[in-house]
Amino acid sequence: MFKYIILKKSKIIFFCIFTLILSNIALSEDLDYQRVAVEVKKKLQIAKNMQFTKQQDKAFWALYSEYERDLDDVYRDKFDLVQDFKNANASRRVTDQQANQYLENFFEIENRKLLIKQGYIEKFQKILPGKKVARFYQIDNKLDAIINHELAIKVDLLE
C-alpha cells in the first residue's frame, strides 16, 4: 500500500514538474533553446524512471544518444512545421491547398518518427530485458504526448 502511494505521488509530481518546465519553455521564442531544453528534461525523466544496472546504464545512454540523433531531424521538422502553420494560420489566409500540404507534411514527419522508433526496438532489446525496453517506450511515448499537447496549445484551429 505504502509503495503504491509513493508511486502514485511520484507520477503526479513527475507530470506537474514536466508540465511546468514545458510551460516555461513555451514562453521562450527561441525554438533551438526549446528543443535543447526538452531533450535535457526528457533525459532527466528517463533516468529517474528507469532502474538501470551500471552495465545497462552505460549501454542504454550510448544507444539513446544515437536514437536521439536519428530523431533530431524529425523533431526539428515537426517544430518548424508547427511554427509555419501557426504563422500561416494567424494570417487567416490558409488555402485548401496549403492545409492539404501541412497535413501531408505532418503525416510524413510522424511516419518517419515511427519508423525510427520501430527500428530501435531490437537494438534496445540487445542491451535491456524486454520489460525495460517496453518501459522505456512507455516513458518515451508519455513524454511525446506531453510535448504534443504543448505544441497543440500553441496552434489555433483553422477557420
Q: How far is CA 45 from CA 11, 14, 61, 98, 142, in A?
A: 11, 8, 13, 37, 11
Q: How far is CA 118 from CA 46, 50, 52, in A?
A: 18, 20, 22
Residue 54 belongs to a domain: yes
Q: How many residues does the chain have?
A: 159
- Can you give the pLDDT of all 159 residues of the chain as single tens digits? 545 555 555 666 565 555 555 554 454 456 667 777 888 889 999 999 999 999 999 999 999 999 999 999 998 899 888 888 888 877 777 889 988 999 999 999 999 999 999 999 999 999 999 999 999 999 999 999 998 898 888 777 877
Residue 103 belongs to a domain: yes
Residue 84 belongs to a domain: yes
How many domains are there within the chain? 1
CB 116 within 8 A of CB 74: yes
Residue 159 belongs to a domain: no
Q: Which domain covers residue 95, as residue numbers?
A: 2-154
